[in-house]
A and B are shown apart, each in its own frame.
Chain A
């Protein structure tokens, strides 16, 4: 009987965590490049004192579904069509992001919203030529990024945006600030994703799904609570009845 209470309590704790994940998805419904999380349960059986016990272990996965590509017309906004990530570098090392709103800083490095340098095939993308061109003859500076990431300034090839893929999405770790990271070994160069210049990717969170998840979790939480109350009542009755003897 006490075991049952324990199991019900664990279930409620887990549902709370699932609700937390849904809350985070909903909070990032307008965050560019955001990828939602899916939580699911894995049934695990183990043997305790010769008895088989089933336990549900929650697992989380980054939902890599494509977000809508919003046109901006800004030549330094990039969206990715496919499963790849941009690679940027900050003080903590290489980070992966799908948020492609970039600009050149005053030193001529291509940086993202957080000021982290965007990586190309040969390290950080550094193009002081672009600043010179926009500073003087701006209308002539024509920065073109092909769908394989090749950067051309006035027709001349300069660099290529580094795009990597992580096949096993369970290796992706969320870092906040629109960053994810993965161990070096699981990142592979990606040639199948297409770069869309003049677009950025919006969040892939679907409000409909999340609302349904939210209601489902709340209801499941309620029914677990009912079950708990029933267990409590049964225990109460048992103690009462048995106490008569």
Chain B
């Protein structure tokens, strides 16, 4: 027996949730599907490949005030930002949910990133299983799957005009609209099969490929923008700076990327990673070598956004293939 909710009832439930808390869901914006705050359930897009940006900005915003500095009677007080409101993040695919789990590792490690922790604690994740895999998808090679319920509070899987409802956490179970959920014999259709990418053993092979000229050759066409890191569900690098405005002083953290020229440049001008090749290499080593060696799983979830949006087609799947081949050659 499975629990199901009809599409109609799903929209009613979402409308209910919108009345109670902030709901972030995929919605149309200028011909794009982006995660946005929605005020009406009918604005939510239920059938889409994937959003342009991952939902990580709900937990690690593009820009976020860490604290403000208040001056009172010649005294200084630091006022930390807090996350006040309960939120529902609706419609994320399992790859993005896994992305959250990946980012949790460094950000929640002691000492935990307080604001990130608050965002995560106050958000309930309702995911949508994928009914099709895009040509850029490869989540099954990255430790998740189009129907993976882990890392979510609730997973919805579409079956005709209804959705199978799986609540995997207490938080998820508490949110379910018991009046709208029915029991059913319906089973989930087989999930789509994304393309496979040979990630088996990639971490070991990467160790040997560090000095290869492959990286600077690949970097020839890299534009060193931040696009790949910004659309990515698992990239989390950030910058911190103070802002002075009429209202006072704010310390703001914003996304940044290791690809930016000047990412590692010290005051005084010395830059240990001045070349395009070294910067490009850093990104792939972080994802396929350093992160997995430190935390035990790859720093990529196979959502394929970087593949789809990189203006010069730097394709991580191709890189993994190429590095595996390089590794095989050097063994001969």
| A and B interact | no
